[in-house]
Structure formats: C-alpha cells, structure tokens
Structure 1
Amino acid sequence: MKKRLLAVKDIVQITGVTARSLHYYDRIHLFKPTHITEKGYRLYDRSSLEKLQTILILKEMDFSLKEIADILKLTREEQKQILKKQRQALLLRKQRLENIMTALDEYVSGNDFSNLHIFNLTSALPLKEQYANEARFIYGETEAYKVYNETMDNLSVDEKEKRFSDFEEIFKQIASCTDQVPSSDEVQRLIEEWKKNLRQFMTCDAELLACIANTYKFDARFKNYFNQYSNEDLADFLYNAIMYNINR
C-alpha cells in the first residue's frame, strides 16, 4: 500500500498543534513539509510526524525553538547529555519556585518581608543581612553603632531572636493604642519600653532616636513592616510618639 501523506488538517487532528504553529515552524525551518502540492498545500510523511512529536516533547521540557533546532542536529548520545543538563536546570527552577511559593504562603499568613527566605537560592543576600549591611554603611563610624555591633556579636542566635520578638511585642502593643494621641501616658510608657530595649544594644541619645524615628516614617520598607500590625499608619504614629518623647 502506498504510504499516505498527511495534510496540515491531519497533523492538527493527530497532535493538537495549530495550523498557525505548523506554518511558523516551516517559516523558521524547524519543521518543514515533506511535499508541497501545486496548489501550495503542505503534506507530511509519517517520519515527519515523529519529528514533530519530538519537537513537542522538547518544547514541553522548556527548550526554546532555537535550542530544539540545534538539538535535532545532534546524535542520540549528544541529545541525552543535553537532556541531563536540562533536568538539572529544571530541578533548580523547581526548587526556586517551591521556595517562592513557601515565601508567598508565609507572607499571606502574616510574616513580614524581612523574615522571608525568598533569596535562599539566589545570589542576593537575605533582607536582614542587607539591612545590617546598610546600617553598617550609614552608621558604621558612630560610637552607638560600634556598641550595637559588639553587643550583637556576643549574643547567641536564640538571644537575638528573643530581643527582636520583644520589639515586635512592643510594636503590637503600640498598634493597639493608635486610638490615643501619641503623647498619651500609655503610648509614652511603651516608647520608654522601646527605648529600654534599644539601650540593650546601643547608646541612645536624642539625635540617634530622631534618626530612627525618621527612618520609621520615611523608609517605605519600615512603613510596610509596621503597618502590618495596624490598619492605621503605625509608622507615622511611631514617629510622632518618639519625637514627642525626645522633645518633652
């Protein structure tokens, strides 16, 4: 029996690939018809169908059309080596996507951006380390920063977490007082608690406290961090409460 050639509509019906895609593959010389009739119809033999199926598999494996064209020119053994490398690349991408999904879930659950481990599989440093480097860059020459650095170096990981959780608890308490004025006794008591915690790390004079207050108010990262604790603008409320405490 004479081998039957397949028309574009047959290929479409068998594979699900659109006619537009077949025309495009022809145009870029990736998958050309076996024969073109006098009327310009594209026809394909059975071996062409096998080639198209290989192209579709490689495309699903996340190879670009240019990469697929190059792979089809290789021997079977050379193709296997390329596929092994692609598997490693896809595994890394899978791990990265799982890491991103975990970070998204944590953020939706209420975790602050700075606590997310979203940079674990990238060259970027974790946010807390970036903040530490930024502080070193800005305040590294000040006496207060040197004291802070020495104190932090002497703390264990658990002690550091305890100190930071103490700060978080104070911020939550202040957030519950935003219906009061920043100068109220309760808010100022909490600001004193905040200062007491700060003094465990560094010497806090009025200039440094004002600098911290400004950072809370005008740095978008801090505003986002504080505002997770309140529907009000907690960053602005903290700024006003700290400045009142300094100037009273």
Structure 2
Amino acid sequence: MKRTVSQVAKLTGISVRTLHYYDETGLLPPSEVTEAGYRLYDDAAMARLQQILFFRELGFALMDIRGILDDPSFDQTQALVRHRELLTLKRQRLDGILRLVDSLLKGECSMRFDAFDASSLEEARDRYAKEAKERYGGTAAYRESEKKAAAYTKADWARIQGEMNEIFDALAAQMAAGAAPSGPAVQALAARWQEHISKNHYACTKEILAGLGQMYVEDSRFAETFEGLAPGLARYFSDAIAVYCREG
C-alpha cells in the first residue's frame, strides 16, 4: 500500500512540511515520486518512519538517526529491544512523578524530589548513543554530519554559540517589543539564521529551513529550548521562518 504525504501526515501527526524536510535531508525519502510531483510512501518507508520516531522519542539527533538507519548492518530487532529498555525507564520515571502528584493531591506533605531524577534514563540513553555511534560511525551520513564539527576548536564553538545567542536574544527582544513575525527586523533575523546554519553546519536551503521552523514547535527538544529563552518564542520564530521561506 502506498500513501501520499498528506495521508502519512494525518496518520502519524507529523506535518507535511516536516516530511518534506525529512526527504530533503535524506532521512526519509519517499518510495516513489509521481510525474505530477506527488510523494508516495510504501510499507518499507513507513517502517523506516516508525524507527525514526522511536529514535526521536529517545532524543537522538536526526542526522545520527539517518546514519544508523542507512547502515547495511542495522538490526531492527536489536534496535527495538533497546527502544523498549529506554522507554521502560522513561515510563518508570513518569510513573514516579504521577505518584508524587497523587500524594500531594491527597494532602500529603511530601518533599521528595527523587521522582524527578532522570539520571538513569540519561545514562542508558548515552550508552545507547555511544554504542550506536561505535557500530554505525563509519557510514557516509555520520561522516557528513561530523566532518565540519570535527575541525572546530573551542574558540570556534564559542563563536558559533555566541552568534546563535545574539540571534535568539534579538528575536526575543523583537517579540517582547510586539514586532510581527513578518516585520522587516524579524525577517532579517530569519535570513541571518539561515546564513548561520549554512556557514557553520550544512547548506541550509529554504526548504530545509522551513522544515526546521516547523520542528521548532513540533519537536519538544527544540520547543523547550526556545521556551526557556522566552515563552512563546518557539511559535514566534516558526512563524517568522514560514513567512521568510514563503515570501523572502
């Protein structure tokens, strides 16, 4: 069975724009593109998407996921076993937090904080990531994603981080001042962000940038980062990028 990109989006809850981004970056190419330009996904592509969502749920970077899945020796059964281990740890942590909430709702005075401890999950996830990198680190996708980063010095990383902070701080200031996402100053910052990515990481086309903008609100890791800077910034930046990629 082959599904259109809109059918996949409806089935999975992933936006069409994000699926386009996955195609553009080689993470999830469609199984077929019709003469009219429609992307179609067969069962094999859907199985790959399911694996992508498992890895993403566990906090893996998208390029790392691509490297793992593209390796000819990728073992789906083994991966599912590790997924289950990590998801079980994640569920145990959430169950502990729920029990704490229930006790507080009952009026019990509890000053326990161990329920929030995520160290076991983080340690297991780090071990999994290390094992995956050791096993699949020779793939072309890994080499592509890490080649540039490997050459950076501490000074380079400090410069990159500083440039990124300047852009995000300026965005937060524009939002606080009531500037519309489509405003010229905000659009200039969207353009600057595209340039920053292209210069320091990889060639960032407008299609890729549009996909990133959508992920800033759909992916909890991105959303939490922006919301930590200023409430509402994830949506604000996503809207600004959408305007820039459509009209800029």
Greater length-normalized contact order (CA 8 Å, ≥ 6 residues apart): 2
TM-score where L is the length of structure 1: 0.42
Normalized per residue, which structure has more helix? Answer: 2
TM-score for both structures, normalised by structure 2: 0.42
